Amino acid sequence: MKNDIVFIDTNSIGNFHEIFNTAFFKILEKNYDSITYISSDSCIEAITKILNDKALSYDQSKIHFKKIKVLKGSQSYHIFLRKLLASFLLFFLLIKNRKEKIILANLNEFSTLYLNSLVNIFDIKLGIITHGELEYMIQDVPKNKPIFLYKSLLKHFFKNKISENIQILTLGKSIEDNLKQIFPVNSKIIKSIEHPYFFDSNAVSESSDSNIIRMGIVGTVGENKGMSDFIKLSQHLESSIHQGVIEFHVIGKHNYNIENYPLLRFLAKPNTSIPTKEYNDAIQKLDFILFFYNENQYRLTASGAIFDAINHNKPIIALKNSYFNHVFSYGKVGYLCENIEEMKDIIKDVVDKKNVNFDLRIEFEKIKNIFDWKHIVLPLIIKNN
């Protein structure tokens, strides 16, 4: 019997989740006889570009790309309208493809209003990949913002019994365990895979011969990602910066007025996306990558940025949280700290050239072996059988 699957992404535009989506695309290709990939034209273009750049071919006879309209824009009201319109489109796509197994690229908050009824009426077998949207449920969010509505919809969905035709696919065992602990009523349908990634052997670079120590934060930058702590750290080490001993870099999209932060080196202007190659080239020049996500963050979502660091074999200095603890359980690729003060102590030891061990090549290889897309196994409900 032919084993087909339909992958639906009514949310992504451009390079949003492009690495994950491309890696998952290859996993689907490995497991299924035929794949219908439904997404925006810009998302499909981003995926095929990554495949071409990495010289990864795909079987065009079994892959069927279908383009849909996805509302563009990055402002809060754009995102709200995109989610709302996507939920209507998704409703009809699910009915249209009801005879196939279906995987959704993300959990649309508005779709939670009809998913249970729809999959039960039409006996649809549905897998749903979850990303950062799950974090809304455990965050304190302002009641006058759309995110409060997203949080309310998701909490209502998970508090009640979800159809056994649905599988919630989290991106890490720690996330699976945390979600089951919060919503035990749905433990049976919550599964996990590791976050797949394309590790590029050409990305690994030798440390700079310069005496300057270059540290940075990577990925999307904001207050929720610890930017305030990064700014305070730069102020704490201001004398070392002026002496040319250390540099602090911001490599990612942000909305900060650069002129207000003379101790930091920003790669991009405010609200400007960074091309993938430029982003990776900048990471290569760093010596260390810092993360300020605290213990209350990344309980229900994975971090793509940590894999950008691992891809380039860049030692990590970070605060402990459940997801980073999970990743580090496969290989110690740096230091996880209890608090900011401990981070400062380790960074000061690096600056002072004290005995801090960062020869982590074997540890990096351990982690890459686990999270490489080629080694990811899909749970049984959506696995080729």
Q: Where are the domains of the chain?
A: 4-193, 201-370
Name the CATH superfamily housing domain 201-370. Glycogen Phosphorylase B; (3.40.50.2000)
Q: So what's the pLDDT on residue 50?
A: 86
Residue type, 157: F
Polymer length of the chain: 385
Say if 4-193 and 201-370 have the same CATH topology.
Answer: yes
Q: So what's the pLDDT on residue 129?
A: 96
pLDDT digits (tens, 9 = 90+) for 124-172: 999 999 999 999 999 888 899 999 999 999 999 999 999 999 999 999 9
> What is the dihedral sign for C-alpha 94, 97, 101, 106?
negative
pTM reported for the whole predicted model = 0.90
**Backbone phi, then psi, for 62, in 5-degree steps?**
-110, -5
Q: So what's the pLDDT on residue 385?
A: 45
Burial class (CB in 10 A: 0-12, 13-18, 19+), 75: exposed
186: closest CA among 133, 138, 136, 128? Answer: 128
Q: So what's the pLDDT on residue 203?
A: 65
Residue 32: other Cβ atoms inside 10 A: 24
Q: So what's the pLDDT on residue 204?
A: 62
Question: What CA–CA distances, in Å, run from 256 to 50, 76, 225, 228?
Answer: 29, 17, 13, 11
Q: What is the mean pLDDT of each run of 10 residues along the chain (385 residues)?
A: 87 83 91 93 90 82 92 87 96 96 96 98 96 93 92 98 97 97 97 92 62 92 91 93 95 94 95 88 95 92 94 95 96 94 91 72 94 88 52
CA distance 360 to 380: 35
CATH of domain 4-193: 3.40.50.2000
Q: So what's the pLDDT on residue 52?
A: 84
